[in-house]
Amino acid sequence: MASINLIASASYVLHSIKASSKSSDHLKDGFPLGNKNLFRMNAPGNLRKLTIANVANEVPVASQPSFGKEALGDQNHVAWTSVRQHRWHGELVVEGETPHWLNGSYLRNGPGLWHVGDHNFGHLFDGYAMVVKLQFENGRIIAGHRQIESEAYKAAMKHNKLIYREFSEVPKADNFPSYIGELAGLFSGASLTDNANTGVFKLGDGRVICLTETQKGSIIIDPTTLETLGKFEYTDSIGGQLQSAHPIVTDTEFLTVLPDLINSRYLVVRMERGSNERKVIGRVECQGGPKPGWVHSFAVTEHYIVVPEMPLRYSVKNILKAELGPLYAFEWHPESKGFVHVMCKASGKIVASVEVPLYMTFHFINAYEETDEDGRVVAVIADCCEHYGDTTILEKLRLQNLRSFAGQDVLPDARIGRFTIPLDGSPYGKLETALDPNEHGRGIDICNINPAFLGKRYRFAYACGAQRPCNFPNALTKVDLVEKKAKNWHEDGVVPSDPFFIARPGATEEDDGVVISMISEKNGGGYALLLDGSTFEEIARAKFPYGLPYGFHGCWIPKK
């Protein structure tokens, strides 16, 4: 059965490759090159003329009139609306001043399209990936966005229906045999999405890669044109289907965690700069069960890798179901408990596996080693955006909820959860609240730090926070973990994304730099925002021709 499915999917892949060159061609068909100032805003019925400096190369998707089409009434914030065209590129007018030392490109990945044909997707995490670029050049900002041409996206465009399984979406089996094919495809991974919408990373050798949580969803793009260049092929034989969405990428290496659903363990792997071959550092045997916990992200210190084992566990039963359960591919197993494991990076040995209170996190912020007066490491501290051991947030991120509850105070509380993991062999670790969550409006997620402090004792985290009432993080927050205070940025009706810190060259203070975020506005507009990393005051903003959907995670590519 699996081989039949593989043959089917191989012939499908061939079709898609042929279709892909055509698809890029037909995306240009009917492209009104002269029409440089007219943009239809995403807000329903809102036709406006905007003058944007040097707008070039706006590319409507000729045969996809469905872009930006969800008809959901006035409440449909542009943050939760498909982008109105496949790609765009142009210069933005800057209000304020961007620092002249800021030369390079900020790329951000996230969903761009949440429907196919007449079918609206269910969840924020389902959207077909779109990368947005802000290229800073001597005070100017050249911007652009482009859909990633994953197999899942191309297949959906070609057949006008969902073909691959997304986070909350399962393609409809037209008939029983095709459902059997779909099941086999799930075992082989052939039916799983490669929609690389979670993050974008610059590898040490300069390649730029977009990822999702399936290994096949590792896609190389051109950071200048944002063109999809092809699959990132792992040349090792490690196998498996899944990966963390958040590898730790430095100039020298790429570290990630691969959940192994068959053996109920995690593989921690490392890929050197310039290589496509991952090598296993070590294995973490899960303490609870029945399956490994979801591992969206993990953390590192200078010498250790911190691997979470959440009670929110992968569920093979759910993954194989035609209708997903309330927690999609996962199940909440409080009886299986929560654990955190610490692996020595050099030897792969587990130096601590501790039980901790039940927790629920997407994002680790950072981790570091705590030493005693003799300099011996006695504990590992790991911080994350923690949802009080409650999975409700997953339901709140359903598009219907994001669209219908704007302004209502339904965002579940979140905090910075600080794990203390003793290295003295004791079986328990601590999970405490790092600062009063009211400081950041009792909402916090999508966090960044100064990358020079990765794995080290640090003081500042930048994240999306909340200005209540809200149904989604609607503020930017700078958290001071030493003073236990936060500075917040908010404007009425905004949905800000990924506050990304870039250090000023030569800086000696941790927060000396700028924070970039892309803002979606309630009137359908949007802009790039620059805040001072220290004061958290606005230094510049630059309006996009039209608002962009909410995005997840970005990276910085300094100009060579």
Ligand X SMILES: CC(/C=C/C=O)=C\C=C\C=O
Ligand Y SMILES: CC(=O)/C=C/C=C(C)/C=C/C1=C(C)CCCC1(C)C
Check binding of 213 to ligand Y (CB under 6 A): yes
3-state SS, residue 184: helix
Query: Of ligand Y, ligand X, none, which one does residue 418 interact with (CB within 5 to 8 Å by kind)?
Result: none
Question: Is beta strand 253-260 parallel, antiparallel or unpaired with respect to 265-272?
Answer: antiparallel
* Among 552, 526, 524, CA closest to 541: 526
Residue position matching structure tokens 């912020």: 365
Q: Strand locations in 317-414, DSSP E?
A: 330-332, 338-344, 350-356, 361-371, 377-386
Q: Are 432 and 357 in contact (CB under 8 A)?
A: no
Based on the shown chain and the rule CB under 6 A, indicate whether residue 389 belongs to the binding site for ligand X.
no
The values of phi and psi at residue 410, to 5°, are: -115, 5
Site for ligand Y in 123-142 (CB under 6 A): 125
Interface with ligand X includes 414 (CB under 6 A)? yes
Q: Does 445 bind ligand X (CB under 6 A)?
A: yes
Q: What is the DSSP letter of 450?
A: -
Of 16, 212, 361, 534, the one binding ligand Y by CB under 6 A = 212
The reply on whether position 473 binds ligand X by CB under 6 A is yes
Q: Taking the complex as a whole, how short is the minimal distance between the CB of residue 440 and ligand Y, in angstroms? A: 20
Q: Binding partner of residue 473 among ligand X, ligand Y, none, CB under 5 to 8 Å per kind?
A: ligand X
Stretch that binds ligand Y, among 161-169, 353-361, 369-377, 474-482 (CB under 6 A): 161-169
Tell me if 369 contacts ligand X by CB under 6 A. no
Residue of the chain from 319, 367, 454, 461 that contacts ligand Y (CB under 6 A): 319
* CB closer to ligand Y out of 111 and 513: 111
Conformation bin of residue 276: beta by default, left when phi > 0, alpha when psi is -120 to 50: alpha
Of 439 and 510, nearer to ligand X (C-beta) is 439
Residue at token pair 């197993």: 333
Interface residue with ligand Y among 27, 41, 92, 192 (CB under 6 A) is 192
User: What residues form DSSP beta bridges with 483?
Assistant: none
The answer to whether 363 is annotated as binding is: yes
Residue 329 makes contact with ligand Y by CB under 6 A: yes
Residue (80 or 458) nearer to ligand Y, CB: 80
> Does residue number 198 form part of the binding site for ligand X (CB under 6 A)?
yes
Q: Is 152 in the site for ligand Y (CB under 6 A)?
A: no
- Beta strands 312-314 and 330-332, pairing class: antiparallel
Region at 129 (left for phi over 0; alpha for psi -120 to 50; beta for the rest):
beta
Whichever of 55 and 446 has its CB closer to ligand X, that residue is 446
Q: Residue 86 annotated as binding? A: no
Q: How far is the CB of 220 from ligand X (least distance, A)?
A: 20
Distance CA 390, CA 394 (A): 9
Binding letters toward ligand Y, positions 82-121, x by CB under 6 A:
----------------------------------------
CB nearer to ligand X: pick between 481 and 495:
495
Contact by Cβ (8 Å): 305, 280? no
Residues binding ligand X: number (CB under 6 A) = 9
Residue 445 near which of ligand Y, ligand X, none (CB within 5-8 Å, type-dependent): ligand X
Choose the one of ligand X, ligand Y, none that binds residue 324, judging by a C-beta under 5 to 8 angstroms depending on kind: none
Is 487 a binder of ligand Y (CB under 6 A)? no
The response to whether 145 counts as a known ligand-binding position is: no
Write out the two tokens for 183. 């099941």
Residue (152 or 358) nearer to ligand Y, CB = 152
Q: Whole-number minimum distance, CB 393 to ligand X, in Å?
A: 5
The mark string for 233-252 relative to ligand Y (x by CB under 6 A, - otherwise) is ---------x--x-------
Q: Least distance to ligand X from the beta carbon of 465, Å?
A: 9
Q: Catalogue the long-range contacts made by 535-540 (C-beta closer than 8 Å, 24 or more residues apart).
A: 535/487, 536/476, 536/478, 536/487, 536/488, 536/489, 538/96, 538/489, 539/96, 539/97, 539/98, 539/99, 539/514, 540/94, 540/95, 540/96, 540/97, 540/98
With contact defined as beta carbons under 8 Å apart, do 339 and 288 qualify? Answer: yes
Give the whole-angstrom CA distance, residue 459 versus residue 419: 16
Minimum CB separation from ligand Y for residue 163, in Å? 12
| Cβ atoms of 83 and 548 closer than 8 Å | yes
- In angstroms, give the least distance from the CB of 525 to ligand X: 21
Dihedral sign for Cα 99, 103, 109, 112, please. positive
414 contact choice in ligand X, ligand Y, none (CB below 5 to 8 Å, kind-dependent): ligand X
Residue choice 443, 524, 533, 545 for contact with ligand X (CB under 6 A):
443
State the binding partner of 329 from ligand Y, ligand X, none, CB within 5 to 8 A by kind. Answer: ligand Y
Residue nearest to ligand X (CB): 445
- Work out which of 200, 249, 367, 393 binds ligand X, going by CB under 6 A: 393
Closest to 398 (Cα-Cα) out of 142, 125, 170, 187: 125
CA–CA separation, 23 and 228 (whole Å): 12
Binding partner of residue 61 among ligand Y, ligand X, none, CB under 5 to 8 Å per kind? Answer: none
Residue 266 lies near ligand Y (rule: CB under 6 A)? no
Residue 26 among known ligand-binding residues: no
Question: How many residues would you count in the chain?
Answer: 560
Is there binding between residue 362 and ligand X (CB under 6 A)? yes
Buried-exposed string 200-224: b where 16+ CB fall within 10 A, e elsewhere: bbbbbeebbbbbbbbbbbbbbbebe
Question: Would you tell me how many other CB atoms lie within 10 Å of the CB of residue 80?
Answer: 26
Helix, strand, coil percent values for the chain (each to nearest 5) = 15, 40, 45
- Residues of this chain that interact with ligand X (CB under 6 A) are 198, 362, 393, 414, 443, 445-446, 473, 552
List contacts with ligand Y (CB under 6 A).
125, 165-167, 192-193, 197-198, 212-214, 242, 245, 296, 319, 329, 552
Binding residues for Fe cation: 246, 296, 363, 553
